[in-house]
A and B are shown apart, each in its own frame.
Chain A
Amino acid sequence: MRFWFELIVKTNLKRISVGILLTLITMLSGIALLMLSGWFINATALAGISIAAGLVITFDMYVPGSGIRFFALSRTISRYIERIYNHDTILRLISLFRVTLFRRLSNMSLQQLRESSDSEWLSRLTADIDALDSILVRYILPPIAALLLIIGLSVFISVFWFEFALYSGLFMLLCLSLSVFYTIKSTEASSSSACAILNHCRTQVIEHLNGSVELQSYHLMDVHQRGLDTRLQQLDVAQNTLSRKTVQLQSLLDWVLNINLFVVSVALLSAVNSSVITGPQAIMLVMMFLGVNEVLQTFVMQFSTWGKTDFSAGRLAKLDDSGAVSFISNESTKHNVNSVCSLAVRLVDEQKVSISQQQAVNLTLCDNQMLNIIGQSGSGKSSFADLLAGVTALNSKSEVLINDRLHISDIAKNSWHQKVTYLEQANTIFAGTLGYNLVMGLSTVDEQYVWSVLKQLELAQWVNSLPQGLNTWLGETGGKVSGGQARRICLARLLLRDPQLIILDEPFNGIDANMANRIWKNISPWLSTRMVILLTHQPAEYLAKNKALYLTLDADSSS
């Protein structure tokens, strides 16, 4: 958690200071309102009694009266401003967290990213970032503001009764620091273990459900559920411990505060008896403690989430350790490629390309050549494409040699992806406008060229028919595109670039054969000046005979 603390303080010190000041003003106004009101009715009561007794005294009712009105207003207004201001800070922080995290994630290798991009991981990630805002709203602003409040009040009291100021200042400080530290100490473990257990629960539920076909056919669903039941019992224990500890601490704190209130009331009233202070002053001080108690009471709850936040912060920190750092440092020592002229591939014993386990797969490809790799589903086509595109790493026996001298693993990924484009099997449509989806990652865009590409892919007419054209919003909150349209948008994205090696994994998935033929004809001139690797189920019909090399991954008829 320290990393995030430092990040917050380093980048937002000024805003935090203002936030603390506003929080302090809010607390002070509330307490001052109670103090002044208490003092006021006592002073007026005494004055009233004196007047009724026939004494002539002058008592200014209007200054304290307007003071009360002032504090009533300042309490409301400062609370409003404080909330607005601090929420603004939180949103700024979340933006900061996201950027920080995104940078870390984009340093991960493609393989790591692919493996972790399931929705469960994503929702965990957001939950973890959201948990971090506790750092500001619970752990930074309130305790510091309370500390300043205690100092301020003690200084104020010391003006008329130094000893009492010393006692109350020390007492409040002790309450604050003990409730903060003791809460952290006694709830941290159970709070983070409750989080951990909930997480185990999640994975166990997923496994339980994934196994439902086997488990139900064997009638073993309830046997397998026992593991989950045990986990739920552990959760019960952890949550009960956490809640018991929190409630006990809260009670203890309330007790201490109340005992203090009793002691203070008695002491102050005795002091009135012995004329150390006046009655109104005594009531004012009791009211002060009433207000301060309300502030101090909140700290057990505020800090009982410490373990949970720490758990989230720890998980986010793990992203750093998962190889991203070594990946980056390796990356800087790697070579850049300026052009890709030839490709020599040798796959041996690759786990996911089954044929390579029976015999080595060799292939070479030069400029302007086209290769059609054919394989049934499950034969490892997409895995082959991933290896060629550098998404997954090769094993030690296999190699991909670029320009006859560079190993693919020695090439810096950034420069490699400038020269190589890869149409993955799955379509990725970003939440954004259609135009945005097409030109993502391009530095210069020629709109006319975009339209000509759209025409080649028979998308132009559709785009023209959209009321907002290229500005139509796609993705979850926008218009839906069909599978075939999505495929062609992804293809268009590649055509707008200038790669030297193109890897197309089932480029016409979801597109009927006639349209596939037409589109292939349209884009052939563009493809003809580059190296193309085309991966398909069956030999591509649209491919003219003798125009391409063939390689099949199916076991029975290997070439």
Chain B
Amino acid sequence: MGNNHSQAELEDTSNSAFVQQANDKIKGAKASASLKRSAGNTFLRTQVNSERKRLLLSVAFGALACVAMLFQWVSFAKLAEAVIVYEVDLNTQVSLLCILAISLLSKPLFQQAQSKFAHDASVNIRNNIRQKMLTKWRRTSPLALKEVSAGAYASQFVEGIESLDGYISRYWPQQALAIISPLLILAVVFYLNWLCGLLLLISAPLIPTFMILVGMGAEKLNQKYALQRQRLAGHFLDRVSALSTIKLLNAQEEILTEVHDVSERYRRVIMRTLRVAFLSSTVLEFFTSVAIAALAIYIGFSLYGAIAWGPSASLTLFSGLAILILAPEFFQPLRILSQYYHDRATALGAAHHLVTMLSGQDSDAMRKSYADTSSNAIAAPPATLTLEDLTLGYADKSVGPSSLNITVKTGEMLVVYGQSGAGKTTLLNTLAGFIEPVKGSFTITSECSYGLAYLPQSAWIKNATIRENLQALAPNASTQQMLTALEQLGLSDELDIRHNGLSSVIGEHSAGLSGGQLQRIAFARVLLNPSPVILLDEPTAKLDSHNKAFVLQAISRLRAHSMLVIASHDPDLIEMADLRMKLSEQGVGYS
């Protein structure tokens, strides 16, 4: 009777109730599909198991609510019979009235407890998975993380995990209740009148059977239109994402009409499949209505005396009324379950993606758990970097020349140069521990708990204040230190004049600041938190000569206490270096 529309129904016709179950059966034949599904399924099951206690409590309270409901209606039927048939004064029926009142008042409390435990379980599970993801990211090489867009990860982290809520807090408990509650009701009905109980018992398995039959029809129709639907559904996003090209082609009016036409066509296709898909929930409605009607007529005729066979003689207004009211309650848990069914489908989809992500290999280099390091106050101990017969590359594919050998000590500066693609950045990534060498090894002594400072080619800038941007990699830097570092890079004038100094916000897409400024802000972090080993990738590439001077000065200042490994083809930097390593197709040259 309620309105059970949901967005999900809209997006996918097959969401409606048991159609999915039918889909499962069809897809079950296809090994790959079932494999995917089972991975997601196992994942969900493990998660649910970790909060089993709460979820079972939720189910228990749901069952209690059902018991309260039974007491409520049985006592009401008894009262009604007493008053209407035996014309007893209501005031004498105190105990029945008490049972009615208590059951009516306790039922909402049980239901509240049911939702509360289910919700708590869901929150815990979602938190747990989020923490797992964060840990996973800490242990995965950043290069592996970059293979998938950060936006995709973020939407798994946000929506993907959120979409498990419906499954955990609604579907899972209801799944159990859809069996427990009807059985409880059935027991009472059987006790009251076995024929009515039998009627309900027969209809129960019939419903899913019919639903699956209808569902298969809908699935067939679905498949027929699958490609067309997919194309029509993706149309809007496709055009919006290409809107700038559309405007360059002066086609926006044309596309506007197209968006309208395509939406209309999409509607017609969807409606064609919906007409069949909705039949399956109609089956449930139909059985509920027919069961009520059939029971009402059977009970009515029995009470009238028109039916003389079977247990009808034993029917009274009490048992008749109780059975009539319990009949819709018998189907109710199943109806609720079918409303929640799309929760399961969404959760399975999301779980599958989560499993894929969480099951990726931990990188060896990242597996060590690192202590919290951010003490720029302590003077860095001297370090030595030794490359021994090192060959760079990803997996087994080597990049650049093989057998690199060199030793760099604190206070020295190594510049690696060569054509793009020669392996400069690969060397830095290897030294940072993000990729394994293909052959040979390198050692950094006195690494202890210090991390490396690594400044990649395109600087990482957060949509936050300059202060927060600096603190991200130099958590202990004081305001004064920050101002000094910015001053040393020629930024403090530029930023103070044009913005609000440290508190000015670097906007989305780094609006308002030039590439050179962003690069220098990133460099300021290295100054604020210099570690014994500093890796710089093209630190001067985006800078004009005036600003480059600031960076070169800062580099020579860093050189006093740290070892610098710089990838660059800037002649000035190559000139400054103590050690040079030229990478090319012919091999490696040292100077």
Contact = CB atoms under 8 A, between A and B. Distances in A.
A90 B236 contact: no
A349 B292 CA distance: 81
B246 A88 contact: no
B297 interface: yes
A92 interface: yes
Interface in A409-443: 413-414, 417-418, 421-422, 424, 428, 430-431, 440-441
A210 B145 CA distance: 9
A257 to B, nearest CB: 9
Given A76-B285, A378-B541, A210 B150 contact: yes
B317 A41 contact: yes
Contacts of B111: 250-251, 254
A477 B227 contact: yes
A214 B454 contact: yes
Given A91-B267, A220-B374, A46 B85 contact: yes
A48 B240 CA distance: 71
B529 interface: yes
Given A98-B236, A251-B109, A220 B475 contact: yes
A45 B522 CA distance: 87
A23 interface: yes
B134 interface: yes
A42 B10 contact: no
Contact of A217 (B295, B296, B432): B432
Interface in B536-564: 541-542, 544-545
Interface residues of B, number: 153
A318 to B, nearest CB: 13
Contacts of B304: 44-45, 47-48, 51, 59, 61
Contact of A202 (B89, B145, B157): B157
A431 B231 contact: yes
B26 interface: no
Given A41-B320, A106-B243, A232-B127, A421 B3 contact: no
Interface stretch (A154-162, A260-268, A360-368, A526-534): A260-268
A72 B293 contact: yes
A395 B274 CA distance: 54
A44 B301 contact: yes
Interface stretch (B36-44, B98-106, B175-183, B391-399): B98-106
Residue of B11, B76, B374, B450 with most chain A CB atoms under a 10 A cut-off: B76
Given A44-B301, A212-B142, A218-B451, A99 B256 contact: yes
A205 B84 contact: no
Interface stretch (A116-124, A172-180, A396-404, A546-554): A116-124
A99 to B, nearest CB: 5
A55 to B, nearest CB: 13
Contacts of A41: 296, 299-300, 303, 317, 320-321, 324
B127 A417 contact: no
A68 B453 contact: no
Interface stretch (B215-223, B257-265, B379-387): B257-265
A134 B250 CA distance: 35
A477 to B, nearest CB: 5
Interface string B1-35: 11101110111000000000000000000000000
Contacts of A347: none
A234 B559 CA distance: 43
A79 B282 contact: yes
Contact of A247 (B84, B119, B463, B516): B119
Residue of B76, B108, B111 with most chain A CB atoms under a 10 A cut-off: B108
A87 B248 contact: no
Nearest to A117: B241
Contact of A221 (B76, B138, B227, B237): B138
B370 A441 contact: no
B441 interface: no
A291 interface: yes
Contact of B115 (A34, A43, A250, A473): A250
A306 to B, nearest CB: 15
B238 A431 contact: yes
A106 B281 CA distance: 41
B302 to A, nearest CB: 8
A273 B244 contact: no
A37 interface: yes
Interface in A507-537: none
B271 interface: yes
B474 to A, nearest CB: 9
Contacts, number: 436
B145 A430 contact: no
Residue of B89, B158, B509, B514 with most chain A CB atoms under a 10 A cut-off: B158
A424 B248 contact: yes
A208 B101 CA distance: 56
A31 to B, nearest CB: 7
B360 interface: no
Nearest to A357: B544
B196 to A, nearest CB: 12
B274 A84 contact: yes
Given A26-B1, A219-B373, A477-B231, A72 B150 contact: no
Given A75-B285, A102-B255, A211-B462, A40 B300 contact: yes
Interface stretch (A10-18, A293-301, A450-458, A460-468): A293-301
A223 interface: yes
B184 interface: no
Contacts of B473: 214-215, 218, 220
Nearest to B229: A477
Contact of A266 (B97, B260, B535): B97
Interface string A84-98: 101110111011001
Nearest to B93: A269
A505 to B, nearest CB: 12
Contacts of A352: 514-515
Contacts of A358: 544-545
Interface in B249-295: 249-252, 254-256, 259-260, 263-264, 266-267, 270-271, 274-275, 278-279, 281-282, 285-286, 289-290, 292-293, 295
Contact of B251 (A46, A64, A229, A441): A441
12 contacts: A40-B296, A41-B296, A137-B3, A201-B157, A207-B462, A212-B137, A219-B451, A247-B115, A259-B105, A273-B87, A358-B545, A430-B242
Given A202-B158, A298-B3, 20 more contacts: A33-B289, A37-B293, A42-B80, A44-B303, A44-B304, A80-B282, A102-B259, A142-B2, A202-B157, A243-B119, A258-B107, A259-B104, A282-B84, A291-B1, A294-B1, A354-B544, A440-B249, A440-B251, A441-B249, A477-B230
The 4 closest A-B CB pairs, nearest first, are A441-B251, A95-B263, A279-B84, A37-B296
